[in-house]
Structure formats: C-alpha cells, structure tokens
Chains A and B, each alone.
Chain A
Amino acid sequence: NAGVTQTPKFRVLKTGQSMTLLCAQDMNHEYMYWYRQDPGMGLRLIHYSVGEGTTAKGEVPDGYNVSRLKKQNFLLGLESAAPSQTSVYFCASSYGQGGSPLHFGNGTRLTVT
C-alpha cells in the first residue's frame, strides 16, 4: 500500500547542474501534480498532468520540465539548477474532478548551492 512514492528524498546540486525527480503512484490516478513548498508561501503548483502523455504548466513552471510517459509515473526535471530552486518538492495524485482529494508523497528536499 505504497500510495505516492518520491525519489530521492534529499539532493544537493551545484548551480547549473541538472537532475530529475521521480514520482510513482500505485492508485491508478489519472491526475498528477508537482508542487514546491517554501517557508511562508504555502504550496505552489509547478506542472500537472491530466493523463498519460499530457502535461501542462502551473503557477511557477519556469526552469522546470515534466514528462508523463506512463500513467503511474510523473517526472520533474531541472535543466540548469539555480539557488532559487532550493525548496521541498511534493508530488501528488488524484482522480481529478469533484471531491477527490490529492494524495501526497513525502517530498524531496533539494538544495542548490
């Protein structure tokens, strides 16, 4: 009963490096989301996906790319990391419409130096 699993849990990057965060869900959810959490700012939506092969931009998409090649996986990429991308990243999934809640992973803490 894994739910939403994020890897890695922690990562330190140097400015300009790239990396990919992996999110996997086993609930057969159509919708998946990437949020970032910063102190005093709540959670902000980076990108989302409404199904396999589709992605769309959220509130703060700049500097990030995503892919949803398989229904259960949603990847978040940083092409050239910047210190402003130091944050905690959360993946979530849901059935989408109506009252279905989002189910969250435990997050990835990323530090860019």
Chain B
Amino acid sequence: AQSVAQPEDQVNVAEGNPLTVKCTYSVSGNPYLFWYVQYPNRGLQFLLKYITGDNLVKGSYGFEAEFNKSQTSFHLKKPSALVSDSALYFCAVRDQSPNSGYALNFGKGTSLLVTP
C-alpha cells in the first residue's frame, strides 16, 4: 500500500526563520507526492507536487519541497516563515493501485505555529 508518515505533530518556528515540515513515504514504484495546507475551518489547499524530474519542487506561497529517493522523504520547506503560515500541513501520496480511484492517502498532519 502507498502511505506517508509525518513524524511531528507540531512544529514551532520563529517568524523569519527557515521552516521544515517532515514527510516520509512508503510506496511500490515511483511515488506521486503532494503537500496541502489547511487553514482553520477551511478545506485543504494544494501547495505543490512531485511527479518526476527535479528533486526540488517549488509551489505556492514561497514553499518548496525536496524529494529524496534514498531517504524516502519529501520534506516541505520555506526559507523565511511568516506568522500567516501557521496552519495544518498534510503530506499525501497518490494510490496507484488498481481500483483505488487514484485517491490520495494522507498523513496525519503537522500543525505549524509561527510566532512573531
């Protein structure tokens, strides 16, 4: 089965500092990986994805993610955090198995808190 794990329930960072939200994956074959952000009382918003190609993927709101095949990781990063980045972040992997509907399998989420 295709799955992802987010080892941290919460990440705290000071505004202006770099941030990293961790994700590791377990798949058979080539992974299709995604990051989403959820603000309070809202749905999930797509940030970025890795399908193939460059290991550094750039996305919305200044976020980027680094795909590392040897470490089976897909960590989300931002060089300089903003207070407005405080939200819940989800890593996800596309289920490529037959009869899966190409659904996404999500991690449990990491709450990011950026303090002024």
Contacts and interface: CB of A to CB of B under 8 A. Distances in A.
A98 B52 CA distance: 10
Contacts of B99: 56
A94 B102 contact: yes
Given A42-B90, A104-B43, A105-B43, A48 B34 contact: no
A49 B101 CA distance: 7
Select the residue from A4, A98, A106 with max chain B CB neighbours within 10 A.
Answer: A98
Nearest to A107: B43
A79 B78 CA distance: 45
B56 interface: no
Contacts of A90: 43-44
A50 B34 CA distance: 20
A41 B9 CA distance: 11
B48 to A, nearest CB: 9
Contacts of B49: 99, 101
Interface size band for A: 20 to 34
Interface centre among A4, A98, A102, A103 (most CB of B within 10 A): A102
B108 A50 contact: no
B67 interface: no
Contact of B104 (A40, A41, A97, A102): A102
Contacts of B36: 104
B101 A104 contact: no
B103 A104 contact: no
A97 B95 CA distance: 10
Contacts of B46: 101-103
Interface in B71-116: 90, 99, 101-109
A90 B103 CA distance: 13
B45 interface: yes
